[in-house]
Every structure is written in C-alpha cells, then in structure tokens.
Structure 1
Amino acid sequence: MNKDRVQSIVDTAERDPSAVDIDEARSALDHPDAQIRNGVLYSLKQVADDDVQRVRRYLDDIAPLLSDNEETNRNLAAAIFQEAAKVDPNRITDYFPDLAPLLDDPNEYTRHYAAFTFSEVSKRDPRQIRRYLSDLAPLLDDPNETTRNFVTFALNQFAKERPARVLDWLSGLALRLDDTNEYTRHYAMSAFKEVARDHPREVRQYLTAIVSRIEDSVEETRNFAAFVVKEIVETDPEAVLDHLATLSVGLRDQNEYVRHYTVYTFHEVAQVNPGRVATFVDGLEPLTDDPNENTCDFSEATLDEIDAETRVDPDPGSGSLETEPIEKSETVVWDGSDDTEIEDSTSDTKIYDPE
C-alpha cells in the first residue's frame, strides 16, 4: 500500500466512516512505514467513533500498535481500545498486558485512554485490575484531571472488593481528597470509607485531609467523610480533638446521616474529654429534636457527659448527675452515589499527516 492509497482511505474515513474497507485498512497495520500505519490507524479510529462494532473484531490486529515506536500511533491505538472498552470491557482484559505500559506513556492523552480502559473494566469486574494496581496508582497524581478521575474511580471500585489491597496507595488517594474535580474527590473519599471499615488505624494518619471533606460541596462526599471519622473515633476518640471545630459543621448538615455520624463522633470524644466538647453545646442542643432517633439519643447523651463534667449541681443534696450509657446503634452509611457515572472527556487524537 502506498501513501496515495492511504490518503484515499483517510479521506473516505473523514467523509463517511461506514464506507471504509476495514480489511484493506488493517492489511497495512504492520507496514514498515510509520506514516502509513498512522494513516490506517487514524481511519480505523474514525470508524470506531462511528460504529465500534465494526472494529472490535480486529483488536488482535490493532494490539501490536499499542507498543508502536511512534507516539502518535500508540495514541490512536489506545483511543480505539478506549472505544472498544465501552461496548465489550470483558474482552479488553485480554489486552491488559499491552495496555499497562501506556499508563506510563509520555503522551498525556495516551495515558488518558489507557486509564479510561482500565476504569471501564473495573465497573464490571474490579478483580480484573488487581495485577495492575501498581501501574495505575502513579496516575493518581497525573496532570490530566480526567486521567486522575478514571484512576481514582478504578481504585475505589477495587477497594469495594478488597479494601486491604488498597492500603499501599492511601497516600495517593489522600491527595485526591483535595482534587479540583468533585467526582474525583468523591471516589477518593469512597475508597477511604471502604478501607476504614476494617482498617481505621491505617486511615487515621490522613485525618486532616478526611476532615476537610466534611465541608465538601457534594453531599455524598460529606456523608462518607463523616462516616470515616466515626470509624476512627471508635478506636481512638482523642485523634479528632484538634478537628472538632471543623467537624462541628457536620452537626448542622442537611443530610441526616452526616449529622448522625458527626454527633456520634462528639459523643465518643465526650466520654474521654467532655471539656473539649463543651464548646460545641450550641451545635449539639438542636439535635435533641433531630428526626433521626439515634441522633437525638447521642446528642442527649453527649450533653449529659458535658453536664456531668462542667456544670455545678445547684442542689448538692440531690446527688451527683449520672447518666445511663446508651447502647451504640448500628448505623447505616448512605451509599447512594456509588452508581454515579464517571465523567468522560473528549480529547483530540493526533491525525494522519502525509507530510
């Protein structure tokens, strides 16, 4: 195949992708001329954007181009696999060994396409990405916002299945708690929620970043943050002493579970250091009338702890103030956002340049 013929295929792909002869195009995928490979890949990418089913059956032919020595060819091949992952993620797992090196590609869009492909598979079966966690984790700090989003989503999906396996990457996930993208922050917080259930002590060192999300703009993210703090105080109530002022915002949150987890946190702290909680009586008192019965109970018990520590009995003869301990209730984390779709992004692929 010569360059004139490739240009003709490119022109057809741009005008009417459905008219491209795929068998002819794929016959040049192993051509020694990088520009010819680029031209047919570009054409197949146009076909995939139009109808990925026409290209899906030829992934075996396209896969070697994922390791092409030309950056633009790797980029286009990765973009085709991204499209294929949207319709057949199960099949894409066969090509993970070829896709994994692209997570470290110098081209940010190539990394982006590879990250999307792994995240798309993680939606259906998170276990499929377990061997590639160490390849994905460095992209938690990628300069591309949507790449960070895809990787954080994938690690969150895996954390739901095997939270202990994510412990090694908590420091990277902690960075994403302050991401500019609200969905990325949410997925990172969700991953911490999964880990905190069984490993609250390991999560504790990221407490400052976690507490900051109690003021997040996304309600579900605030919910997860309050839940994680609740898990931490169950093993170490004093860990949050320096964060009570920020946490007190959760006492008046519109979400009943945020209020519930937060007042529970204050109750745990009050049992070991009621004096530090006394400052927040004004935030606790309204919760004695909260619609959530457990929230009311914890609020009243917390105020009783404060009373016993800080208030003088006006009638010493009446005896000391003592409160019956309330039984800790099983609380339910509101996990309604787990089905939130990750945001896709469109990016320009390098096009065929016959010159």
Structure 2
Amino acid sequence: MHVLICGAGPTGLTAGVELARRGVDVTVFEARDAPSSLSRAVGINPESLHRLGPSGVTEALLAEGVTYTGLMLHRGSQPWAALDFDAARPERFGRRHMFGLPQNRTEAILAAALARHGGRLRRGCTVTGVAQDADGVRLTLDDGHTAQGDWLVGADGTHSRVREAVGIGYPGHRLPDVWSIADIDAPGWPHRDRVALSLLPEGRLAAIVPLGGARLRMISNTEDALAAEPFGVSVAHVHDTGQFRVALRMAERFREGRVLLAGDAAHSHSPAGGRGMNLGIADACDLAERLAEGGIDGYSDARRAEDRHIIAGAERMRRVVTAKSRAARAATLAGARLITALPPFRARFAANFLYG
C-alpha cells in the first residue's frame, strides 16, 4: 500500500510517521520549499505524547521541550488563582502535565522520525489536481509531475486544496476578534513552568506561555499582544509578531472515497486550551492505525464525533475567558477561586484541561 499525504505540518508528518513505522509506503508532499522557522502551535497534551511514544517521537520531544505544571490566573496584573495540573484525577495517558515546544521544532523531530522509519518528504510541491477511482488516487503537482497512490491524506490546512478538489464542504463562520502573538526573550520572567492567563476589561485577555530558556509566547485577543500584556514583562528581544483570526468550521465529512482529511483541513477553532495541533495529531494517529490495520470505514464518523466534542469544550472556554459583561467576568473569577479551593473541583478542572 502506498499512501500520499499533502501537508508537512504536525498532522501530515504524524500520519506519515505512524504509517511508515507500520511498514506502509508513504510520501509526504509539502508546498513550502524549506521547513518553517516560526513557533506557531506550542502546547502538546498527554494524549499526543502517549500516541507518539511508539515511534520514538515523544522521547525526542521531551528532550527539548518545557513541562507546564500548572496555570496561573490573573485579574489584570493581580494574581488571582493558581491551578496545579497534578490535581488531575484520574490520571490518563501516564502524565499530569502539559508540554510545550515551538511547532518548528516539533515538525523537525517528526520529519526526522519519518525519514528514520523509511518515509519520504518532498518539498516545493503544490497540489493542483486530485483524481481518484476504485483502485487509487492520482495527484497532479505544479511542477508537472504526478503521483499515484492507494490513499490520499489531506493535511494541508484550513485552505486545503485536497478538500476543495474532492468537493467536501467546510461550513462555519469567522469570529470577529483579531488575535495576536509575540515571541520574545524575557530573561527576568520567573514562571518558567507555568502558563499565565490574565482577564482584562471588556472581554480582552492576555497569556504568556514559556517556550524554553528566556523565550516566551505572548497571546492576546487584541491586535497587539505586546501592548496588551499586564504582567510587566521586561522584553529583551522580539523574535516574531503576528495576527490571526479565528474561524469555527468543520468539514462535512472527513472522507471522500480514497481521500481522507485530518487536522486543520478537517476542522478549525479557537486556540483556547491549545487543542488545535493535538486534534490533528489524534486524527493522524487514528487514520494511520485504521489504514494499516483495518477499520477505515469508521474513520470519518468517529473522528468527527470526537473532534466536535473537544472543539465544543474549547469554544466554551473561549466564551468564558472573553466574556465582556462585568457580571460574567465576576462569575468567572469567583468560579476560579472556588475551583482552586475545593479538591474535587480542582481534580475535575485539571483533568478537563489536560485530557479534554
């Protein structure tokens, strides 16, 4: 069996690694000529680490990344409540923490594992056409070449050419807020193993996610994450800044014949809870196991149900932390104090955050 994969982000590379380690012939096609240098997605949850263990990827990730032991909530600049992830009960996937690594390093580790397990990665290849019949799939590339395989995985992002080529709808809507990020060096920031979140007036928020060493990721639902931060961070160097918008969308189905969708090509949602990359990894691991060992007919229904559940939780979280009314803000802050004060609530919240 030969599987073609479009997209060399975390989802496409995970699918390639998981198929290749099971002995499947895999070729990954990527439009970019070179690996990305941007950090983009950061958080890796316990389920992803569990799923990536057999390939050797988890060991490499843990050697480079940051362990997040908890979450600090602020009201503006004022510390308000703290949650230790160790409170999570019951423990699942062998861990009670989140893990952080810039996406470009995650992709590099996955690409190395793909090569180690015998998979191929071709860069600078943009898909211009997809054709399929009962026997296989044929890709047309912008360099005039074609590729033939038994299955095609579209892991080529929210603007997926694969999804569009096979006529799968991607209904949903875009949220009005502009979000922003800034990756900085801040040697004086003391909380290197915790995520910090601040609730600001009028539904604004700011967050800090450590990336290792002196480097931090700032995130805000404003146009300027650096200007929005209330923590008094002393910035030594700015690596990168950017803006993005959030869309809530899900593909009408994750399969059309011999074409499968995964990751952002299949669903899009807010960054609340750091679910995006982890959902893509779960999609990829699931489809790889089903392709290699049987059961692909159930892939679309099973993943759409699971992804819908996780995305709904992320959307509830987004609405809570971006609520604009003073009453809703006060309720959120009071609830945070209650959660951290009562062990059963702490256990449940930490488990929901870590495991969905």
TM-score range, shorter chain: under 0.3
- TM-score between the two structures when normalised by the length of structure 2: 0.25
Q: Which structure has the greater CA radius of gyration?
A: 1
Structure showing greater relative contact order (alpha-carbon pairs closer than 8 Å, 6 or more residues apart): 2
